[in-house]
């Protein structure tokens, strides 16, 4: 029976995905595990794999078009199968939409209604079949853990065990990719891997069934049929076909198929094919000429200038995962492999309009959509007001020069601002707060988020307990977090729990600016550059090193007097840094 392939939810913030490119066309034979298409989400470009064997009978969206989560992408079934019934369900009418699939109508139309009628009957039968109580089965369900406070689902990047393998507590079962990082899923049971319910590449909701571990030969089906969580999540490939397609055309953008293949936050889309052709003895696993690699591995490899064709994968079916790229040592063949790639035209982030055209348009990336949504919610729901103050940085510059003579790591001006802000927050706890609708939370810990610009947008790693750390410790941690953010190696503990945020654009020559509050914080501090400015000291005009800072405040939590007192304390600490070190 033909199956509808729907847009999976590949991250906790994903509402729709853009088809970057189809790797199969109508009429192609498809096997379970084959990559059907590349889908651009708000965080990365992911691979959409098939979980069915058959023929690709129908493709809905074109390259560059946006599809909502659970929207219809394609239909896979037997060659020549009549899919008019499915198309009527998809389009909400009796008229079949596909054209190429109308010709072969032989015996499939007669067989299909029988299968459709038999399928619903089979499900109740299987639900009533188990005789063994689930409580008596010597096996345990392994469900998708919640790896961060915002996580709602995770994607299986690769399985490291297969059905029948012996498993010990602490063994690595699989790699799970969230929207921020790729995490390792470890076993907490000893036994045999009896069942895997989710193929690599599939998205699973938190608490959804991943696999079953237990005594060899145990009747695990009793767990699936009688377990509290097994019914809906154990078979992720059949669940989507039972839902009604309601919004196929709702979120489609204008067709930009040509530009979509070359424009986006991750310009690695066209890279795998040239890389795999460039080196003859490519050790990387390939699927019909394509290198199999996780999106995170592709991203890191691109940033490090590593050709994936030279990397040997350790994941399922030789799939390249993050650790393979991190452990890769460039060989002598690497420069040769990169030469042809360099000669190919690189995708441009801002396409140049052809002569005579007034403008050019490109689809909005998924990350940019999420940034726009969250910042708009913050800006229009939280009543912002702004307080700007000038700070004399003469003594701070002298202190920094002295510190760097003995500090194990180089202390930056941003590190000084973080330390001063943490010390000021300790004196003004009302600023270190959050609006929760019907209550205000005053945080007892001071965790400062530091905005870091990355290629795809903006990330905010967190320096925890900043008020209790030395300047050298803050400096080392900020450098480490910044590197992780740019290489997308941040773990959930690195970005969760901020109580105050600092955004610094001084290194870009910006004198002053206002920032949008980063929820759930009540305030954000915008830091400008240090500029030599004429100032009056002791009745005389002198050249001073002035830095402007602007505090954006949520007026539901912080009043003007409270914010002003905080800025005055911050000014005192930075104008005499010894005070904040006492």
Q: Rounded to an integer, what distance in angstroms lies between the CA atom of residue 293 and that of residue 284?
A: 9
**Angle in degrees, CA 166, 171, 172, rounded to 5:** 110
Q: How many CB atoms lie within 10 A of CB 408?
A: 9
Of 314, 366, 279, the closest CA to residue 20 belongs to 366
Spot the catalytic one: 53, 165, 559, 576.
559
Tokens of 385: 């007001």
Antiparallel, parallel or unpaired: β 182-186 and 172-177: antiparallel
> How far is C-alpha 300 from the geometric centre of its chain's CA atoms?
14
Asked if 374 contacts 380 with a C-beta cutoff of 8 angstroms, the reply is: no
Q: Which residues contact 98 (CB under 8 A, 6 or more apart)?
A: 57, 58, 83, 87
Q: What residue has token string 């009549």?
A: 82
User: Which residue intervals of 462-535 are DSSP H helices?
Assistant: 471-486, 492-495
Measuring CA to CA, how many Å separate 127 from each of 102, 211, 226, 453, 465? 36, 19, 8, 51, 52
Spot the catalytic one: 160, 261, 480, 555.
555
Asked if 232 contacts 140 with a C-beta cutoff of 8 angstroms, the reply is: no
Reply yes or no on whether 555 is catalytic.
yes
Q: Which residues pair with 521 in a beta bridge?
A: 434
HSE-up of residue 100 (Cα within 13 Å, Cβ side): 12
Specify the 3-state DSSP secondary structure of 523. Answer: strand
| φ/ψ (deg, to 5) at 121 | -70, -30
Of 499, 553, 562, 521, the closest CA to residue 384 belongs to 553
Q: Rounded to an integer, what distance in angstroms lies between the CA atom of residue 464 and that of residue 445?
A: 8
Specify the 3-state DSSP secondary structure of 178. Answer: coil
Asked if 175 contacts 224 with a C-beta cutoff of 8 angstroms, the reply is: no
Of 495, 4, 578, the closest CA to residue 239 belongs to 4
Q: How many CB atoms lie within 10 A of CB 29?
A: 12
| φ/ψ (deg, to 5) at 553 | -120, 145
Going by the DSSP 8-state scheme, the letter that residue 497 receives in this structure is -
| φ/ψ (deg, to 5) at 403 | -65, -40
Q: Which residues pair with 183 in a beta bridge?
A: 176
Of 9, 241, 226, the closest CA to residue 136 belongs to 226
Specify the 3-state DSSP secondary structure of 365. Answer: coil
Asked if 447 contacts 502 with a C-beta cutoff of 8 angstroms, the reply is: no
Phi-psi region of 90 (alpha: psi -120 to 50; beta: other; left: phi over 0): alpha
Tokens of 502: 């600092």
Write out the catalytic residue numbers. Answer: 555, 559
């Amino acid at each position: 029976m033909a199956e509808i392939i729907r847009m999976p939810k590949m991250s906790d913030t994903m509402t729709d995905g853009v088809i970057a490119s189809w790797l199969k066309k109508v009429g192609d034979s498809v096997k379970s595990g084959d990559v059907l298409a590349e889908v651009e989400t708000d965080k990365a470009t992911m691979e959409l794999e098939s979980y069915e064997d058959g023929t690709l009978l129908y493709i809905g969206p074109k390259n560059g078009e946006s599809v909502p989560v659970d929207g219809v992408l394609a239909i896979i079934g037997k060659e020549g199968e009549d899919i008019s019934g499915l198309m009527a369900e998809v389009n909400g009418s009796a008229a079949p939409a596909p054209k190429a699939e109308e010709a072969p109508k032989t015996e499939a139309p007669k067989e299909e209604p029988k299968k459709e009628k038999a399928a619903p009957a089979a499900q109740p039968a299987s639900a009533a079949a188990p005789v063994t109580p689930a409580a008596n089965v010597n096996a345990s369900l392994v469900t998708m853990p919640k790896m961060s406070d915002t996580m709602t689902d995770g994607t299986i990047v690769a399985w490291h065990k297969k059905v029948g393998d012996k498993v010990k507590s602490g063994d690595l079962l699989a790699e799970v990719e969230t929207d921020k990082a790729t995490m390792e899923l470890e076993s907490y049971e000893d036994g045999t891997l009896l069942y895997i319910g989710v193929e690599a590449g599939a998205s699973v909701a938190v608490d959804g069934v991943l696999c079953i571990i237990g005594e060899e030969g145990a009747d695990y089906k009793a767990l699936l049929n009688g377990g509290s969580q097994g019914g809906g999540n154990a078979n992720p490939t059949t669940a989507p076909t039972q839902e009604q397609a309601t919004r196929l055309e709702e979120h489609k953008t204008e067709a930009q198929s040509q530009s979509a293949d070359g424009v986006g936050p991750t310009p690695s889309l066209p890279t795998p094919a040239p890389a795999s052709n460039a080196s003859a003895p490519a050790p990387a696993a390939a699927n019909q000429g394509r290198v199999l690699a996780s999106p995170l591995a592709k991203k890191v490899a691109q940033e490090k200038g590593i050709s994936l064709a030279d990397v040997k994968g350790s994941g399922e079916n030789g799939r390249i995962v993050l650790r393979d790229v991190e452990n890769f040592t460039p060989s002598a063949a690497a420069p040769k492999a990169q030469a042809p790639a360099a000669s190919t035209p690189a995708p441009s982030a801002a396409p140049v309009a052809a002569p005579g055209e007034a403008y050019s348009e490109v689809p909005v990336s998924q990350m940019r959509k999420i940034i726009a949504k969250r910042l708009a919610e913050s800006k229009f729901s939280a009543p912002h007001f702004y307080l700007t103050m000038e700070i004399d940085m003469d003594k701070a510059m002298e202190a920094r020069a002295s510190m760097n003579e003995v500090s194990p790591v180089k202390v930056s001006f941003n590190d000084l601002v973080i330390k001063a802000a943490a010390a000021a927050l300790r004196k003004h706890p009302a600023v270190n707060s959050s609006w929760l609708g019907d209550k205000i939370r005053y945080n007892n810990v001071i965790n400062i988020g530091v905005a870091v610009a990355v290629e795809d947008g903006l990330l905010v790693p967190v320096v925890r307990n900043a008020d209790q750390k030395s300047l050298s410790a803050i400096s080392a941690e900020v450098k480490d977090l910044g590197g992780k953010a740019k290489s997308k190696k941040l773990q959930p503990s690195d970005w969760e729990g901020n109580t105050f945020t600092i955004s610094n654009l001084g290194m870009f020559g910006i004198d002053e600016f206002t920032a949008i509050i980063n929820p759930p914080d009540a305030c954000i501090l915008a830091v400008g550059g240090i500029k030599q400015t004429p100032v009056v000291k002791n009745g005389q005009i002198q050249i001073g090193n002035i830095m402007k800072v602007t505090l954006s405040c949520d007026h539901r939590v912080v009043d003007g007097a409270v914010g002003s007192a905080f800025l005055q304390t911050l000014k005192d600490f930075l104008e005499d840094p010894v005070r904040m070190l006492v």
